[in-house]
Structure 1
Amino acid sequence: MTNKIKDTLKNHKYLLLSFFLPLLILEGIAIAEKIQPFGSGSFLIVDALHQYLPFFADYQEKLKHMDSMFYSFHAGLGYNFLGLWAYYLASPLNLVIALVPKSMLTMVLSHLYVLKIALCCFTAAFYFRKRRGKDEISIVAFGMAYGLCSYMVGYSWNIMWMEVMMMLPLILYGVDKLIKEHDGRFYCITLFISLWCNFYMSYMTCLFLILWYLLYPHKNIKEFFLNGLRFAGYSLLSGAMAAVVLLPAYLGIMQTSSAKLDFPKQLWYGTFGNIFSRHFLGTTPLTMAVDDSKINLYCGILTLLMAGFYLAVREIRLIDKIRRLLLLVFLFFSFNMPILGYIWHGFHDQYGIPNRYAFLYIFALLAMAYEGYCVLARGQRKISMGIYTSVILFGILIETAIQTVTVKIEMKTVYTTLAAIIVYMVCFGLYQKKVLRKKIFTTLICFLFMIETVAMAVMGFQENGTVDTDDYFQDTKSITEVKKQYQKDVETRMELISGRMLDESIWHTLNGMTLFGSTAQGNVVDMMDQLGFYTGVNEYLYEGATPFTNDLFSMKYQIFRPYDTKRTEFKLKESIGNVTVYKNTDKTALAYAMDDMVKTWDYQDYNPFYVQNDLATSAFDVDELFHMIETEKPKLNNCKITSDNGDGEYVFENTSAQPDNMVFTIKSSKARQLYVHFDGSQVENTVIEKNGEQILTGRLDSQIIYLGNVQKGDVIRIKMQLKQDDVMSGVVRLTAAELDEEAMEKLAQKMQENAWKLTNAKGNQLSGTIDVQEEKMLFFSIPYDKGWNVKIDGKAVKTKALGKAFLTVKVPEGKHKITLIYVSPGFKEGAILSIVGFVIFLLLLYLFRKKKISNIQQNLRENYGTLIKEILPHDMGGNDNKEE
């Protein structure tokens, strides 16, 4: 080892420790929790399992096969992959997945998760070191307080956010350099990296940066405005550099249901005591919460004591205290004000993951506390007034929180917090009494701070829990074999009849229709709901298919597992491993020519059987595909009907939750293929019985359910358990229908006669031929997107959306070759902006380098002149009146 390396390690040992110590601790937690490869567990809980992991699988396949990054058919009938990539997957750290097999993907992501948290500790320590000006143990303690705070532990399953938390301290250091040295290069590049990795959380960072700059201690008004121009310029430049990611991400997210403005009407969530109590030692970190007032705030008891000390000591200017306090108070108020929270979240409802911007408050509080610690570490022993004032302030806040909370608070967290305060006060007292020397004292409180932080992190990860990969991925090998044998091209769509994960079909990279993700198009979600599929705000799943929609969306295969109880109209093909393949006996296509009357299709009826009937009639001139079956009023238990529209819609009120709150009975008068559909936001659980035998149970709400071939005299009972909550009322709509098999056979034949024949499919390009007897509308079972460019016989044509959801073009009479090419909207414009941005940034680097060289040369000339004057005799000092 060279002396240079030894010196580097010696001079930066605590900075390096701020990374390696939390890394070792987190890996220790991974071992204790039996995370792969130390067991079969994974840190990828909640949506990290159901959503992000499948997207990583799709990304991995694209990387390994060098496939187009613009589009993927592995979800949602096709989706803008670049837009989703920009939202979830853009971090360069994620490229590591290209180096490992799919079987190791869950393991790699679990440990990448650990690495990112350790890097958050490191960057925070880097910031604190720059503020302190020296490498010491305190930067490790405060860095870990940031990286292991309850926000990071509770929300760390949002693995795509972590880079933004990681970059925040570096960005703020860049702001310091910009203001103090008029050098914005570091600020620009760090903000660019943050924006590139995740624009959504970086949006919150950008709002915070504006506040940070406005409340920064500028030298004077002139400096405020001049630095403001630099700040704005470098900020815009970083945005331009990241535009190739930002524009596709923004345009993609604006197509979702969440893009609609819906400002909250509520003034407050609850009390500020509820929020402040989340600072207490021992509070369980939140992973998810429906209540938007919930929050993760714990970042250490010493943090609060040092923040109070910062406000109490005279060594810090009053104006600086006011600035820091204003920022914290504004953020704290934002947590309890729905309108401010709505703005902080990008004009978006924070449902499920409340107060996502709390990491900004936590770091601002830690920065303030660290300034207080620095005063303590530099100061004399006469610190008692500041410490006592801090404890009194903290005590008042604790008492106020206890008196004002409206939610249950565990007193053990209060007692634990008070115990921690007492321990720190003993240390302060021993230092004050000269029992402890300054170095021992500061080392001791930092050590105790780290113990406190680590203990909370260990508890937090235990509370978070893990998932057992053996439970979720035991069928991966078999389904991979099914895919290899049967999925020939994008037209060959296949789905799991039910998934263990919501996006499990994406994990297997099947060409399917399931999509649960923040970039799901709102219009497509709405249309799938109208057609009878299960949908949510940002999801539509392959639950609710009929023979018509299976043909319409070219669904050729279904995959069953031994525990699946759902019925299918498909025919048994074969078993592969522990899964069974069923095949659609109808021939299907990716696109169909439809009668021009399809433009009159009424898709807005709440009854999906009517919606499908009208599509079959208007598009293919086939009438009455489904015949409605009259259903009797339900039998009630602890429930009453307050309104009945006579068409299967019932308004109810219930007094408790019972397995048989509502029981619908359908008696079959003949042999038929029976389907039912019901909506009920207050339905907790459903059990469906046939002749007294349970055939289906679980979450069956808001989807068409195929009950199979029923015989004359069969009795179907649908038992609904209603929710017992604050609402205790709602609406249930139930309709039943039988499929006309002759009409379906006629419809399938007409669809095949008007099918588009796919001839080539590669990445984001499709081509095929069709022969029509008259001008028709060509319907593609692909979501409408402005990124699609369609050419008929080499000539570009205008695309339109059927039902605001599906891609269509008008096709003239005759035989035609039709080609489709997809480029993500915003990519071209974003690429141009990024190139221009990088050119400007490189030019700035050149100008700074040139200026630096010029300054060095100037210094050399000045120093050389001085040296000459000192060395040469006085009479040789360069007198202009004499010859040399």
Structure 2
Amino acid sequence: MQSYVAGCLIMLPLICLGIYRLIMQNKKTFLFISVLVMVVCNWYMAYMCCLFSVVYFFFELFCTDEKKKYIVTIVKYGLTMLLAVMSSMVLFLPTAMNLLQGKGIESTTDYTPGFHIGIKTLIKGLLPGIRMQKAFGTESQGIMLFCGTFVLICAAAYFLSKRSLKEKILSALVLSFLVVSATFIPLENVWNGFRKANSYYCRFSFVISFFIIYLAAAYLEKSVKFFHKKWFRSIVCMWVCVELLFNGYSIVRSYAPIEGHAYSVYDEQQKERFAGFDISNSEFYRTEQASPAGEDRGANYLGVFNEGLQYGYHSFATYTSTINSALTELYHKCGYHDYYKFMQYNEPLLLTDSLWGIRYIISDHTIEGCEKDTDAGVINGKSVYVNPYALNLGYCVQGADIENIEAENPFEYQNKILSTLTGEDIECFKRVDAQKTVLEDGDEFQIKVPKEEHILYGYIDHVIKDAAQTVIYINGDPRTTYSRVTSYKTFQVDDPENSDIATVAIKGNLSNKDELEGVFYYLDMKEFSSAIDKLKTKMFQVEDYGEGKITGTYTAVEDNEKLMLTIPYDKGWKIKCNGETVTADPSRTFTVLQVKKGENKIEMTYVSPGFKEGFVISLLAILLFAIWQKAEKKVRRSEDV
């Protein structure tokens, strides 16, 4: 279970306890603090908890008989929730503003009426030991609601108990609404944050489980006379332990892609790998990995996402909700991937790798155009490859409008990028013809190896991303699974050892193999090297960098030179050039500055957009709540007198 779900299991009961105290004891502080802490810890799951709190509030309210206080209690609940959420704005507002760069502006959610799962699947989700096998990147069609046979028995007994008919009807209505929410697609999307959730679709199923547990507890509290007996508690404890072991094993067996010991070994070796990197504050470079953990070469499509954060190296590849849409669009156009949900790096593209400053590539297969670092050794089956063409963090460009370039394929797009940056008409990538042969189990393409110094690249067009088991073979060797939604696009084609014909085959379950087209280009190393050398003549020199800060110098030969820093543009960067505040071009993917002739001292510091405003809002909300509390105490004292 992920940590954020574990946090919900702690905070959701506390929020409900706060609601109970508000209704029954007219005390708001517990609810206020619980909601505030939940939003600060995880806003996404807090959204679901707050949504459920509305349902639970009215459930508790209608269970009471004090109808005269309904309006007053509703107002107090609404104001408490509002002030609690506002008090979290110091963290929530910057998060929301970052989300607007990516997933926060997603508009593809389908609200067409329909049901996600049927009765059989719903019932299956209540059974113990259920395993939901699913491939990475695909959507689970099941739901997990099982919370123990003892709990389920007690929850069912609740409706047969002697509790008031009114309470049981309200409980049935709440439970029915939650179940419908988990199956009816429009309601499901509302609970998921007005968006379709991939992978495990019912992110809020913990809410349903919580309410089932609540019903079981309500039954035990008043209907079981021997609930407090030692023998009964011992039996229940043993029962629960056995179920936890059994179901824990089932879950781990279903979802864990690698056993714990194997991952621990991998983790230690990765730490050893990156601890050996020479990281200093006077030199900035990026590192990427071209192969994931494990021995399955066909699984290279998985990528390595947040290991840069884990092991302390600088990487564009990341899996986050606050994706930079402009950057993922750029990577898509360059041919790194077809998927827009996260930044993916699986296979190097020497031209753009060099432009983005990717100096080191960790890979289990040879990276053409890069030099293998033999001193670094082989760890986890991977070697270190050094890109000698990688540029610094920033360099002078003649043009920076790379966002509006139109091209027929990624290779032509990269040609135009380099032409724009250098101000010259450059054609580093050149097309290579390929002969296609339709095989019984796929397609094969034969490519004539160019005589010039080169690196050969290609991709297969019109492959359906349906998660079928299709694999790319380079000269007979498997390279990667190619038909997943997360499969990368372009790949290097190694030169064969004893032939001037390279082969690329795609094999597997291909329903449209007659429609597939191979697109192959080679990178002319002579032209590429010449273009990179021109960009290297005027580069930004990093003097120091750290968390949220960069300082360095750039010497301009002329006035109004354009300096492009390969730092994704963000409103949060505060930039000073020779002590004066300057602004970057907001229409660019990267940070582009115009600098004056001579030496320019550039200082950049980062403050999350919305942090200052959020801090003020949080302060005011906490102050308002404190004033409200004090005013109520004063009123109560006057009434007592």
Determine the C-alpha separation between the residues in 2 that align with 1:281 and 1:514.
38
Contact kept, 8 Å, 2:555 with 2:597, in 1: the verdict is: no
Deviation at 1:444, TM superposition (A): 5.8
Question: 1:161 is paired with a residue of what secondary structure?
Answer: helix
**Per the alignment, do residues 711 and 670 of structure 1 end up closer, same or farther by CA in structure 2, a change over 3 Å counting?**
farther
Provide TM-score, normalisation by structure 2. Answer: 0.86
CA deviation digits over 1:308-333, x for unaligned, max 9?
Answer: 333334x4332222211111101101
- Are 2:132 and 1:312 aligned? no
Aligned counterparts, 1:222-301, within 5 A: 222-257=68-103, 259-264=105-110, 265=112, 267-284=114-131, 290-301=138-149
Amino acid corresponding to residue 354 of structure 2 in structure 1: D
Unaligned runs of 5+ in 2: 254-258, 294-303
Question: 1:540 is paired with a residue of what secondary structure?
Answer: coil
Question: 1:556 is paired with a residue of what secondary structure?
Answer: strand
Counterpart position of 2:367:
567
Deviation at 1:809, TM superposition (A): 2.8
Counterpart position of 1:707:
493
Amino acid corresponding to residue 789 of structure 1 in structure 2: K
**Per the alignment, do residues 341 and 369 of structure 1 end up closer, same or farther by CA in structure 2, a change over 3 Å counting?**
same
- Are 2:13 and 1:165 aligned? no
CA deviation digits over 1:200-225, x for unaligned, max 9?
Answer: 01100111111122233243444111
Contact kept, 8 Å, 1:478 with 1:576, in 2: the verdict is: no
Contact kept, 8 Å, 2:132 with 2:140, in 1: the verdict is: no
Determine the C-alpha separation between the residues in 2 that align with 1:708 and 1:377.
72
Counterpart position of 1:545:
348
**Per the alignment, do residues 559 and 316 of structure 1 end up closer, same or farther by CA in structure 2, a change over 3 Å counting?**
closer
**Residue range with higher mean Cα deviation, 218-227 or 235-244:** 218-227
- Higher helix proportion: 1
Counterpart position of 2:575:
790
Contact kept, 8 Å, 1:686 with 1:721, in 2: the verdict is: yes
Determine the C-alpha separation between the residues in 2 that align with 1:234 and 1:703.
50
Determine the C-alpha separation between the residues in 2 that align with 1:222 and 1:301.
40
Counterpart position of 1:721:
507
Deviation at 1:844, TM superposition (A): 5.4
Aligned counterparts, 1:587-598, within 5 A: 588-596=391-399, 598=400
Residue 663 of structure 1, aligned match among 439, 444, 451: 444
Question: 1:836 is paired with a residue of what secondary structure?
Answer: helix
Residue 694 of structure 1, aligned match among 464, 477, 492: 477
Counterpart position of 1:513:
316
Determine the C-alpha separation between the residues in 2 that align with 1:439 and 1:505.
51
Aligned-residue identity in percent:
20
**Per the alignment, do residues 281 and 624 of structure 1 end up closer, same or farther by CA in structure 2, a change over 3 Å counting?**
closer
Determine the C-alpha separation between the residues in 2 that align with 1:350 and 1:454.
32
**Per the alignment, do residues 288 and 461 of structure 1 end up closer, same or farther by CA in structure 2, a change over 3 Å counting?**
farther
Counterpart position of 1:626:
429
Provide TM-score, normalisation by structure 1. Answer: 0.63
**Per the alignment, do residues 791 and 559 of structure 1 end up closer, same or farther by CA in structure 2, a change over 3 Å counting?**
same
CA deviation digits over 1:430-449, x for unaligned, max 9?
Answer: xxxxxxxx469x76665544
Aligned counterparts, 1:6-45, within 5 A: none
Residue 362 of structure 1, aligned match among 209, 216, 231: 209
Counterpart position of 2:256:
none
Deviation at 1:510, TM superposition (A): 0.9
Determine the C-alpha separation between the residues in 2 that align with 1:587 and 1:669.
24
Amino acid corresponding to residue 248 of structure 1 in structure 2: P
Determine the C-alpha separation between the residues in 2 that align with 1:733 and 1:450.
62
Determine the C-alpha separation between the residues in 1 that align with 2:384 and 2:393.
21
**Per the alignment, do residues 293 and 583 of structure 1 end up closer, same or farther by CA in structure 2, a change over 3 Å counting?**
closer
Counterpart position of 2:44:
200
Amino acid corresponding to residue 567 of structure 1 in structure 2: I
Aligned counterparts, 1:3-402, within 5 A: 156=1, 158-216=2-60, 217-257=63-103, 259-264=105-110, 265=112, 267-284=114-131, 290-313=138-161, 315-377=162-224
Contact kept, 8 Å, 1:244 with 1:833, in 2: the verdict is: yes
Deviation at 1:175, TM superposition (A): 0.5
CA deviation digits over 1:283-330, x for unaligned, max 9?
Answer: 3477988445411111233433433333334x4332222211111101
Contact kept, 8 Å, 1:535 with 1:702, in 2: the verdict is: yes
Amino acid corresponding to residue 73 of structure 2 in structure 1: N
Deviation at 1:789, TM superposition (A): 2.2
Deviation at 1:177, TM superposition (A): 0.8
Deviation at 1:566, TM superposition (A): 3.1
Deviation at 1:254, TM superposition (A): 2.5
**Per the alignment, do residues 568 and 474 of structure 1 end up closer, same or farther by CA in structure 2, a change over 3 Å counting?**
farther
Determine the C-alpha separation between the residues in 2 that align with 1:222 and 1:318.
21
Determine the C-alpha separation between the residues in 1 that align with 2:130 and 2:177.
23
Counterpart position of 1:101:
none
Question: 1:215 is paired with a residue of what secondary structure?
Answer: helix
CA deviation digits over 1:559-587, x for unaligned, max 9?
Answer: 45xxx123231223441354554333236
Determine the C-alpha separation between the residues in 2 that align with 1:606 and 1:496.
28
Counterpart position of 1:536:
339
Contact kept, 8 Å, 1:211 with 1:327, in 2: the verdict is: yes
- Are 2:453 and 1:453 aligned? no
**Residue range with higher mean Cα deviation, 784-793 or 339-348:** 784-793
**Per the alignment, do residues 337 and 444 of structure 1 end up closer, same or farther by CA in structure 2, a change over 3 Å counting?**
farther
Question: 1:495 is paired with a residue of what secondary structure?
Answer: strand
Question: 1:575 is paired with a residue of what secondary structure?
Answer: helix
Contact kept, 8 Å, 1:487 with 1:493, in 2: the verdict is: no
Deviation at 1:765, TM superposition (A): 1.9
Question: Considering only CA atoms, is the larger Rg found in Structure 1 or Structure 2?
Answer: 1
Counterpart position of 1:32:
none
Determine the C-alpha separation between the residues in 1 that align with 2:515 and 2:23.
59
Unaligned runs of 5+ in 1: 1-155, 379-437, 638-659, 859-884
Contact kept, 8 Å, 1:516 with 1:539, in 2: the verdict is: yes
Amino acid corresponding to residue 576 of structure 2 in structure 1: K
Counterpart position of 1:411:
none
Counterpart position of 1:864:
none
Counterpart position of 1:3:
none
How many residues are matched?
Answer: 608
CA deviation digits over 1:817-854, x for unaligned, max 9?
Answer: 33322111121111122222333444456567778888
CA deviation digits over 1:619-666, x for unaligned, max 9?
Answer: 2114111111122234232xxxxxxxxxxxxxxxxxxxxxx4122221
Amino acid corresponding to residue 717 of structure 1 in structure 2: T
Deviation at 1:699, TM superposition (A): 5.1
Contact kept, 8 Å, 1:790 with 1:796, in 2: the verdict is: yes
**Residue range with higher mean Cα deviation, 706-715 or 567-576:** 706-715
Contact kept, 8 Å, 1:605 with 1:611, in 2: the verdict is: yes
Deviation at 1:714, TM superposition (A): 1.8
CA deviation digits over 1:600-629, x for unaligned, max 9?
Answer: 665454621111000111221141111111
Determine the C-alpha separation between the residues in 2 that align with 1:780 and 1:513.
14
Determine the C-alpha separation between the residues in 1 that align with 2:517 and 2:105.
28
